[in-house]
Amino acid sequence: MQSASKYTSVSIPTKTYLRKFIHYKFGDAFFASGPHHIQKYLSNLLEKKVYNYHFTALNTQYNDKLVIFISVSTFHKLGFDIKQENVIEFNNYIEELFDEELYRFCQDYLKYHSVAQKAITDFASHYNIVLTARQKKSLLRESRIEDARNSFASKLGLIIEEDISAECLRKMEYRARKRREKRENNFSQPVPQVSKSTLALIF
């Protein structure tokens, strides 16, 4: 296991919900080098400089900081400087991953609750169990996408309306869902037919 005390560190501006997302995936310490695609992406943004970059211009855009630990070998090989535009690029990359994970979680959440509700009704029907109105409301209430988003936030330790707004979560899930639908629609487009005369011209 890596020890943060043996590493140098650099802090880059970010948003609280993105910092918590990174810590959820990597634990309390986030290392620049490693096999994960997030770590590889970050390594590509590092530059070899001899000074710390100041991010005062980004303070209004980002409300938190992510501490990144960098080994001595990585420091000498890649450096530890991250330009302002690379900070924005990294945050945008993490935010897109956040969107996608939120979308997948919501889909799994809704599917799981749909299966669970069917199992309850089937069990009750099989054993002639009559559920009271209160039981139906508690056990069989329709699972909402809002419940899924709130559950995702809870999993990451996010405080709604403090770390991230409910409206922001709604927009992010919607954005990821629309991206996924667009990709699936593009993938399902029929392959255009090529005429024999066109093939003859090619070959």
Average pLDDT over residues 117-143: 72
Any idea what DSSP says for residue 27? Answer: -
Lowest-confidence range among 40-49, 50-59, 95-104, 176-185?
A: 50-59
Dist CA 86 CA 68 (whole Å): 14
pTM: 0.75
Q: Are 51 and 83 in contact (CB under 8 A)?
A: no
The pLDDT value given to residue 139: 57
Dist CA 123 CA 175 (whole Å): 38
Instruction: Tell me the pLDDT tens digit for each residue of 137-178.
Output: 665 554 688 899 999 999 999 999 999 999 999 999 999 999
Q: What is the dihedral of CA 182, 187, 189, 195, to 10 degrees?
A: 140
The pLDDT value given to residue 203: 46
- Of 174 and 5, the structure prediction assigns the larger pLDDT to 174
- Of 7 and 97, the structure prediction assigns the larger pLDDT to 97
Average pLDDT over residues 71-75: 75
32 forms beta bridges with none
The closest of 16, 13, 14 to 158, measured between CA atoms, is 16
Amino acid at 48: K
Q: Which residue has the tokens 């809704």?
A: 110
The pLDDT value given to residue 202: 46
Average pLDDT over residues 88-105: 95
159: left (phi over 0), alpha (psi -120 to 50) or beta: beta
Look at residue 71 and tell me whether its pLDDT is greater than 90.
Answer: no
The pLDDT value given to residue 169: 95
Q: Are 90 and 12 in contact (CB under 8 A)?
A: yes
Q: Are 37 and 44 in contact (CB under 8 A)?
A: no
The pLDDT value given to residue 201: 47
